Amino acid sequence: MSGAGGPERYDPGDIPEYGHGGHRGEGSGDGSGDGSGDGRDGPGNPSGTPSEPAGPPRIPTPRNAAEDTSGWPGLLPLLPEPEPPESPESPEEPEGRELPEEAESPEEPHSPENPAGTSAVPRQTDTHRPPSHDVLRSLLGAWALTACSPDETAAVEAHLNHCTSCAEEALRLREAVGLLHAEHNLDLDPLLRSRVLAGCLGRRPARIPVPGWAAAYDAEAARLDALLRDMGEAEWRAPVRLTWYDGRRLTGRDTTVAGVIGHLMVVDGVVAASLGLPDPLGDHAPGSPAARTEAYWHAEPDAAGGTGPSTLLRELWREQGHALVRTVSFAGRGASDLSVPFGDFTLPVRDAFLDRAFECWVHAGDIAEAVDYPYELPGSAHLKAMIDLCVRLLPEALAQRRRAGLAAPPRRLVEAGAPGRTLHLEVEGTGGGNWYIPLDSPAAVGTAEEAVAHIALDPETFYQLAAGHVPPQEAAVGQLGDVEAIRDVLFATASLSRL
């Protein structure tokens, strides 16, 4: 298109595909066109390119976001700088005359995917390339909240095995998440049963109601039975450590979940025998709870070791509990004053039921700890009744320890029924209250005016102390006043525990 006299004016007829006048013709080109245009209508059609796309126009699919894929796109290489075209030696062009654009050499065949005729740069991606350290570290917060996708979770956890700093940060975040919401069990509210029964009985009172002093035992036995219902054979054989305070030190006994239920059943048998029901150990059974338990474990080693039929054991214990509640319900008011001998001490039936309710709560906690399951406190009304029983037993427990030389002697004796030195016991929270314990004599009366010391603790701490699970000197309690009186009461509370 250029000669010795300079470049010639652009003529569309120079392209074989076009006829004269620049209109598209019928002829076929030989692929040697120069692809130049006139500078007004855009670039010319490169030679060798079809006049129309070979198919429907290609619409690229949307790219996935980097965080939605396990692979990460690589970087595109920089495009090389275009080299300036070599201009032939020729005389200078007159001013105002436009030079035609140089034709691009078709280095690659054109296709519908590259309609502009530019050199396509291959996209370099590596689908197996792991995320960078910074990206993975930014995902630790979402990982701690379990908000990552499965691919992200796998990538983060694989990274934590090799990166100490990220592993420490992940541990701190997980602990922080645990503080946001405490774990709760999947059981129903322990008060739901009582509320449903109260609602039903409010509409239609029971013809034969359960005595109020037996309601706590009925509720705690039902809660323990619910814990046992879903246990498998392996959990029935789970080891359980029973601990109590023998007056001088903590002691314990190793058994299984099945052994604990057998222990509850034979001690409940003392109450059953007092009500005229069959004793699970027979007519000549020992009287004390510890002796009865050892006799049962010796006679039934399979049950104590958790290798016996656990379902049958649970049914026997539960049926005995139902029989106790039915019997006192039908007996009426006269049954509450019957005496129940527990070996070294005797309780009226109404207090014996509270004692058995407290034992159900204590040993349900032992079982729940053995199988790693949370267990809630009893309902507030039942909890307060059980704490009240323990407080009423404390003056006599103090007197027994004083006779054994384990407590300080009385400082001021008074007449029976008269106010004497007092300790103020405060159990905080729902189900708690304030009690005033006479210190020098069980016959004295405790009053707020005569208080010489004050102890404050929560229901869980009181439970641990009265169950013999913690040494008295290590119990987390608030103390104020006479240190000797506080020490004597704490040790007397722990001495209420037994096997």
Residues 390 and 398: their CA atoms lie apart, in Å, by: 12
| 346 three-class SS | strand
What pLDDT, in 10s, does the model give residues 280-322?
998 888 889 999 999 999 888 766 655 566 778 999 999 999 9
What pLDDT score was predicted for residue 426? Answer: 96
Tokens of 445: 């009366």
pLDDT grade for 129, boundaries at 50, 70 and 90: confident
- Judge whether 18 and 36 are in contact, CB under 8 Å: no
Rg (CA), the chain: 45
Band (27; pLDDT cuts 50, 70, 90): very low
DSSP alpha helices (H): ranges in 287-379? 289-299, 301-305, 310-331, 349-370
Mean pLDDT of 331-335: 83
- Residue 100 burial (10 A CB sphere; 0-12, 13-18, 19+): middle
pLDDT band of 62, cuts 50, 70, 90:
low
Chain position carrying tokens 């009304």:
381
Q: What is the mean pLDDT of the chain?
A: 79
Q: What is the pLDDT of residues 385-398, one digit of tens each?
A: 999 999 999 999 99
**Residues 6 or more apart from 364 whose CB is under 8 A from it?**
220, 223, 224, 227, 375
Q: Which residues pair with 419 in a beta bridge?
A: 445
Q: pLDDT at position 198, please?
A: 74
Model confidence pLDDT, tens digit, residues 210-229: 999 999 999 999 999 999 98
Lowest mean pLDDT among 42-56, 251-265, 333-347: 42-56
SS3 at position 377: coil
State the number of CA atoms in the 13 A half-sphere of 400 facing the CB.
Answer: 15
In terms of average pLDDT, the best of 27-36, 102-111, 415-424 is 415-424
Is-above-0.95 flag for pTM? no
